[in-house]
Amino acid sequence: MGTSGPKYQRIKDELRAEVARDEYVAGAPFITQNQLHERFGVSSTTAVRALNDLVAEGLLVRRRGLGTFVADPSDRTAEPASAHRSGVVACIISGQGPYQSEVLRGVESGCSERGLRLFFSDSAVRMTDTGHADHPASLARQDQALHQAVEDRVDGIILYPVRGAPDLDVLNETAGTSCGPSPGAGICPAPSTATSPWSTGSALYRGAGKRLPTSVAHALGLGGPL
Amino acid sequence: MGTSGPKYQRIKDELRAEVARDEYVAGAPFITQNQLHERFGVSSTTAVRALNDLVAEGLLVRRRGLGTFVADPSDRTAEPASAHRSGVVACIISGQGPYQSEVLRGVESGCSERGLRLFFSDSAVRMTDTGHADHPASLARQDQALHQAVEDRVDGIILYPVRGAPDLDVLNETAGTSCGPSPGAGICPAPSTATSPWSTGSALYRGAGKRLPTSVAHALGLGGPL
DNA sequence: TCCAATTTGTTCGTATGTATT
DNA sequence: AAATACATACGAACAAATTGG
């Protein structure tokens, strides 16, 4: 299955990404709720909920008897997007041991030097007694944090991922979405030392060819340039 | 009555009117979706829709397992609403030792539980060699972080202040400013055990009489209610 | 004008999952 | 452990609006 969370959320994410990727023309017919229900294998109720949520967001317009359309960009609430920098970087870390604290300190100082604000969240969820990590729950929180970061239109995401859970799908999807109208936002994978490009620590940075600030990269244990 | 139209619309109108008539107390239990479904003779789906719409309007708050409540009057500005509540809390900590990490973890988890995003910044500046704190510089960073938090219109500020530097002036000033249009933002000082109200750990929270979520307060080592 | 097809709008009843007390 | 209450999801049905024959 996809990643996590409610179906209507995933549908919303997917559609948002597609609209951001300019796969639809404003004013042109979008998709019917029946197409949605077939394509995602959900009930009509769920499809309708996703569409209505996106209408509430101002992304779509639905006209009874006609269909569902992509809203006029002018009507879409203030999305200069690529031009405007939020000045915020999200840092999503799993766990708060000594090493993670070190990483966080480095990230904080790197952001502070550049006048960036820092969203911090910890995706680790520990089982009450054992102290062990609860991986499924942590993964869910990681996904949720990524999702929120995208919705907040952060300029960059520093991700210290949940152990042993690369989950490239979410990341790619996130990258596609966060990009918005600006072309070529890149995923900067960790260096080749890592087996998975996401297993050590990685960074998404918004904008074409944008590189992660070196001090931040260094804090993540990524020696070389990304 | 019977203003024609959808049932969920009529339910919304009725509930809106009742809230406006002050028939419910903010924070007090409102109605369950089951009560709605009985009282209006509609299905649960319809009741849920009405309630969720009112949540989107900022009039109600629903908490799973608890119930549906009337939102804080300060939070519902009758407008699209999202502009007023940022859903962000700033956490300004000095230093990142084991204890600070513990505090930060608690704050993060408290915020996460409530769907709040967390601005994190560390005001400690270490002298390159000694490892000692540079107090004047740290104080400056703390002030700057406070001001930025105010400018960002965060909903709350968690402050673990620079050691031995209460500096009530800035804090009071911050409190006054952070209030913005909403009157009576309060400073919630630490309990009497502390010599200075700001020496242990304190919290600003936006809105009149607003209290810090207990789990966050607990993470700050503030046992009792603020 | 009427009809038929398409598409959204609303509502129903039920079921299951999850969080809180 | 049980009761309560919200969260999500399903599938079906009918109503209302639009378009084109």
Measured CA to CA, the distance from residue A107 to residue B212 in angstroms comes to 27
CA of A68 to C1' of D17 (A): 14
Tell me the average pLDDT of chain A: 64
Q: Which residues pair with B92 in a beta bridge?
A: B121, B159
Question: What contacts B75, CB < 8 A, 6 or more positions away?
Answer: B58, B81, B84, B85, B207
Three-state DSSP class for B199?
coil
For range A192-213, the mean pLDDT: 36
Of A56, A108, A148, the CB nearest to B120: A108
Three-state DSSP class for A105?
helix
Tell me the average pLDDT of chain B: 63
Measured CA to CA, the distance from residue A172 to residue A17 in angstroms comes to 11
Rg, chain B, Cα only: 21
Please answer whether residues B121 and A112 qualify as being in contact, where contact means their C-beta atoms are separated by less than 8 angstroms: yes
Q: Is any atom of strand D within 7 angstroms of residue B98's beta carbon?
A: no
Cα torsion B142, B146, B148, B150 to 10°: value is 180
Lowest-pLDDT range, A5-14, A144-153, B43-52, B174-183? B174-183
Q: With an 8 Å Cβ cutoff, is A105 touching chain B?
A: yes
Using the predicted structure, report yes or no on whether residue B49 has a pLDDT greater than 50: yes
Lowest-pLDDT range, A73-82, A138-147, B196-205? B196-205
* pTM greater than 0.85: no
Q: What is the pLDDT of residue A44?
A: 94
Treating both helix axes as pointing N-terminal to C-terminal, what angle do A7-20 and A168-179 enclose, rounded to 10 degrees? 50
What's the pLDDT band for A190 if we cut at 50, 70, 90? very low
Q: Where is pLDDT greater, at A116 or A183?
A: A116
Of A118, A141, A152, the CB nearest to B120: A118
Q: Where is pLDDT greater, at B164 or A151?
A: A151
DSSP annotation string for B91-158: EEES--SHHHHHHHHHHHHHHHHTT-EEEEEE---B-TTT--B-HHHHHHHHHHHHHHHHHTT-SEEE
Going by C-alpha positions, the residue among A123, A120, A186, A10 that lies closest to residue B89 is: A120
Q: With an 8 Å Cβ cutoff, is B122 touching chain A?
A: yes
For range B83-97, the mean pLDDT: 69
Q: With an 8 Å Cβ cutoff, is A86 touching chain B?
A: no
Count of pairs with CB atoms under 8 A, one residue in A, one in B: 46
Give, as one character, the DSSP assignment of residue B45: H
Q: Is any atom of strand D within 7 angstroms of residue A66's beta carbon?
A: yes
